[in-house]
C-alpha cells in the first residue's frame, strides 16, 4: 500500500468514527506528510526518515504545531498496525515538544486596543467568546437552530469532548451573552449565528488570522492569541467566586483538572491571601523579625 493510500484510508476511517473537527485536524497535519512520501510503499518508511521529516516540517513553526505533527504520525502508525496495513512500526517513539502553556489573560486595555480596528462582525464573535467562555470552534459553527431561548441555552451535539462524555455541549445564555447573540442573529431565522464580513460562517483559521492581524496592527504582544479569550473567561469566573465545578460545566470541560489550567493568578493576589490568614505570631522587635 502506498503511503498516500494509507493516509486516505485513515482519513476515511476518521470520517466514520470521529468528529468533523478531528477529521480536519488529521487532514491538515498529514497533508505535508502525504505530499512528501505519498508515492512510497508504506512498509518501506524508516524511523530516520520520519525524524528528518518532522525536523524539516517543524522549522519556523510553534512548539504546538510540531507537537501536533508528531501526534498525528503516532496515531496514523497505530491505525496502520491495528488494521494490519503495515507489519512493523516505522518508529518506536517520537520526540514531542511540550506545548507552550498560556500563562496570562488579555487585559481590558489590550482588548480595547484589539477591537479598535475590528469589523462589527469580529467584535460580535470576540465579545461572545469573552462572555460565555466557549471554544472558538464552537462559536464558529453554532447555528441559530441550536439556540433554545426558553431554556436559555445553546446545545451542540458535535464538540471536542463528545466521545469522552457522551453528552452534548451545552452553552448557557446569560443576559449579556444573550444580547450579543440577538445582535448577531438580527432578523435571520436560520444559518450560522456569527457571520464573517463576507457573510459566511467564521472558520477557526479565519478568526485566528483576523485576530493576529488586529493584534499586530495594534502593536500588541505576540503571545496574545485568540484562545486567551477563553482563559480570561475561566479566570474571571473563578475570581468571581463561582465553584470550580460550575466553571468546568460552563466551559464544557470533562474534568475540573482541565479547568484549573485556566486560573491565572497574579502573585500579588496570593500575597494578599497570606494577609487574610489569622496571625499566629507577632515579632516584638526588629531582631526577631529579621530572623524569619
Domain borders along the chain are 3-82, 108-266
Cα 190 from chain centroid?
26
Range with the largest mean pLDDT of 71-80, 100-109, 279-288: 71-80
CA 272 remoteness from chain centre: 32
The reply to whether 108-266 shares the fold of 3-82 is no
pLDDT at site 275: 61
* Cα–Cα dist 42/39, whole Å: 9
Phi, psi angle pair for 228, to nearest 5°? -65, -15
CA distance 182 to 178: 6
- Compare 22 and 288 and report the one with higher pLDDT: 22
From the number of C-beta atoms within 10 Å of its C-beta (0-12, 13-18, 19+), residue 181 rates as buried
Q: What is the CATH number of domain 108-266?
A: 1.10.443.10
- Give pLDDT tens digits for 126-184: 999 999 989 999 999 999 999 999 999 999 886 455 455 567 889 999 999 999 999 99
Q: CA 243, CA 292: separation in Å to the nearest integer?
A: 35
Q: Which three cell numbers stand for residue 212?
A: 493576529
For residue 288, what pLDDT is reported? 46
Least confident of 60-69, 119-128, 143-152: 60-69
Task: Give the pLDDT confidence score for residue 125 in this predicted structure.
Answer: 97
> Counting Cβ atoms within 10 Å, is residue 105 exposed (0-12), middle (13-18) or buried (19+)?
buried
* Mean pLDDT, all residues of the chain: 86
Q: Are 30 and 70 in contact (CB under 8 A)?
A: no
Give residue-wise pLDDT tens across range 235-251.
888 888 888 888 888 88
Q: Are 162 and 169 in contact (CB under 8 A)?
A: yes
Q: pLDDT at position 65, please?
A: 83
Query: What whole-number distance in Å separates Cα of residue 19 and Cα of residue 162?
Result: 9
pLDDT band at 290 (very low <50, low <70, confident <90, very high): very low
- 67 or 12, higher pLDDT: 12
Q: 3-82 adopts what CATH topology?
A: DNA polymerase; domain 1 (1.10.150)
Residue 99 has pLDDT above 70, yes or no: no
Amino acid at each position: 500500500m502506498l503511503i498516500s493510500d494509507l493516509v486516505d484510508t485513515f482519513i476515511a476511517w476518521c470520517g466514520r468514527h470521529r468528529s468533523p473537527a478531528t477529521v480536519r485536524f488529521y487532514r491538515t497535519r498529514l497533508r505535508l506528510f502525504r505530499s512528501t512520501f505519498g508515492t512510497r510503499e508504506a512498509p518501506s518508511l524508516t524511523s530516520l526518515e520520519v525524524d528528518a521529516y518532522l525536523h524539516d516540517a517543524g522549522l519556523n513553526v510553534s512548539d504546538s504545531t510540531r507537537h501536533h505533527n508528531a501526534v498525528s504520525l503516532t496515531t496514523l502508525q497505530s491505525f496502520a498496525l491495528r488494521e494490519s496495513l503495515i507489519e512493523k512500526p516505522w518508529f518506536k517513539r517520537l520526540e514531542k515538544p511540550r506545548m507552550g502553556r498560556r500563562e496570562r489573560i488579555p487585559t481590558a486595555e489590550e482588548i480595547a486596543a484589539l477591537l479598535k480596528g475590528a469589523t462589527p462582525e469580529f467584535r460580535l464573535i470576540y465579545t461572545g467568546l469573552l462572555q460565555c467562555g466557549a471554544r472558538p470552534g464552537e462559536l464558529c459553527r453554532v447555528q441559530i437552530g441550536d439556540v433554545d431561548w426558553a431554556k436559555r441555552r445553546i446545545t451542540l451535539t458535535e464538540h471536542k469532548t463528545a466521545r469522552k462524555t457522551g453528552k452534548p455541549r451545552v452553552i448557557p445564555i446569560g443576559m449579556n451573552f444573550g444580547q450579543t447573540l440577538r445582535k448577531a442573529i438580527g432578523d435571520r431565522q436560520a444559518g450560522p449565528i456569527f457571520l464573517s464580513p463576507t457573510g459566511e460562517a467564521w472558520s477557526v483559521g479565519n478568526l485566528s488570522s483576523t485576530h493576529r492581524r488586529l493584534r499586530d496592527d495594534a502593536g500588541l504582544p505576540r503571545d496574545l492569541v485568540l484562545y486567551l479569550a477563553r482563559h480570561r473567561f475561566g479566570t474571571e469566573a473563578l475570581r468571581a467566586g463561582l465553584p470550580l465545578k460550575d466553571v468546568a460545566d460552563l466551559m464544557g470541560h470533562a474534568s475540573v483538572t482541565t479547568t484549573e489550567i485556566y486560573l491565572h493568578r497574579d502573585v500579588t493576589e496570593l500575597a494578599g491571601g497570606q494577609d487574610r490568614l489569622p496571625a499566629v505570631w507577632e515579632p516584638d522587635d526588629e531582631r526577631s523579625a529579621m530572623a524569619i
